[in-house]
A = this chain, B = another copy of it.
Amino acid sequence: MASTNSTGGSAEIPLILAAIELFGRDGYAAVSTRTLCEQAGTNISSIKYHFGGKEELYRAAIFYVVNQLRPRIEVVASAFEQGREMVGTNPVMQAKLIKQLVKNLLHFFLGSKDIPYFMPFVMRELLVPGKYFSDLYEGIPRHLHELITRIVAMVQDVDAEDETSIIRAHSLLGQIMIFHIARPFLFKRLDWQEFTPARIELITQETQLLVLRALQLEDTDD
């Protein structure tokens, strides 16, 4: 039997998953409620019944991805925070910690197979803000951005509240995220059709190199 969670009927999750995939791929306006229901294998009226309407389904999808992704991000974040205390001001250890973070982020954003449709959905709302931009922003990426900012501040020994630290963190995050955001662009440029493990590894190594240089840390070649 289906789990007796608070979301009730069995059509809700399929509808939310369809919404994440189709809204993420084609955008809110381009997806009809009929297409959503067809993809979810439900009746047309199920959106009205379970959510109230198309927009409320979109909202439900936003909160769904936030709840699904938050713990996964927090694993990366807490791993870093734990390491940060041990590392202290040792540049060699700082470099190792940052290399690991870059690797985790790239593998997560480029290689996640189990949640393939989440990222386009999230990115669309973040880059082209809609009604629930703030809910999404507060839900996940804000913590990640603040994390990177603390790294920058730690390594450069400046205040993490400075605009300078935030701007540098934004730029560094851009160095990493551009491989996810501008994926079609990169594929066209390199005549790639997909990310393979070897390609992700190559991107990881090069990005690690550039990030460490930008932070003026020695690469330890481990």
Q: Residues of A at under 8 Å CB distance from B?
A: 26-30, 123-124, 126-129, 133-134, 137, 141-142, 145, 163-164, 166-168, 170-179, 181-182, 184-186, 188-190, 202-203, 206-207, 210-211, 213-216
- Determine whether the beta carbon of A206 is less than 8 Å from that of B126: no
- Determine whether the beta carbon of B127 is less than 8 Å from that of A181: yes
- Determine whether the beta carbon of B27 is less than 8 Å from that of A141: no
A169 CB to closest chain B CB, in angstroms?
Answer: 9
- Determine whether the beta carbon of A189 is less than 8 Å from that of B133: no
* CB neighbours of A203 from chain B (8 A): 167
- Determine whether the beta carbon of B27 is less than 8 Å from that of A189: no
- Determine whether the beta carbon of B171 is less than 8 Å from that of A179: yes
Number of this chain's copies in the complex: 2
Interface SS of chain A? helix
Complex: A77 Cα to B126 Cα, angstroms: 31
Complex: A31 Cα to B67 Cα, angstroms: 32
Complex: A214 Cα to B175 Cα, angstroms: 11
- Determine whether the beta carbon of B137 is less than 8 Å from that of A206: no
* CB neighbours of A171 from chain B (8 A): 175-176, 178-179, 206-207, 210
Q: What is the chain B residue whose CB lies nearest that of A211?
A: B214
A144 CB to closest chain B CB, in angstroms?
Answer: 11
Q: Indicate which residue in B126, B164, B181, B202 contacts A184 across the interface (CB closer than 8 Å).
A: B126
Q: Indicate which residue in B128, B173, B189, B210 contacts A172 across the interface (CB closer than 8 Å).
A: B210
Q: Indicate which residue in B145, B184, B211 contacts A189 across the interface (CB closer than 8 Å).
A: B145
* CB neighbours of A27 from chain B (8 A): 27, 29-30, 128
- Determine whether the beta carbon of B189 is less than 8 Å from that of A142: yes
Complex: A188 Cα to B170 Cα, angstroms: 12
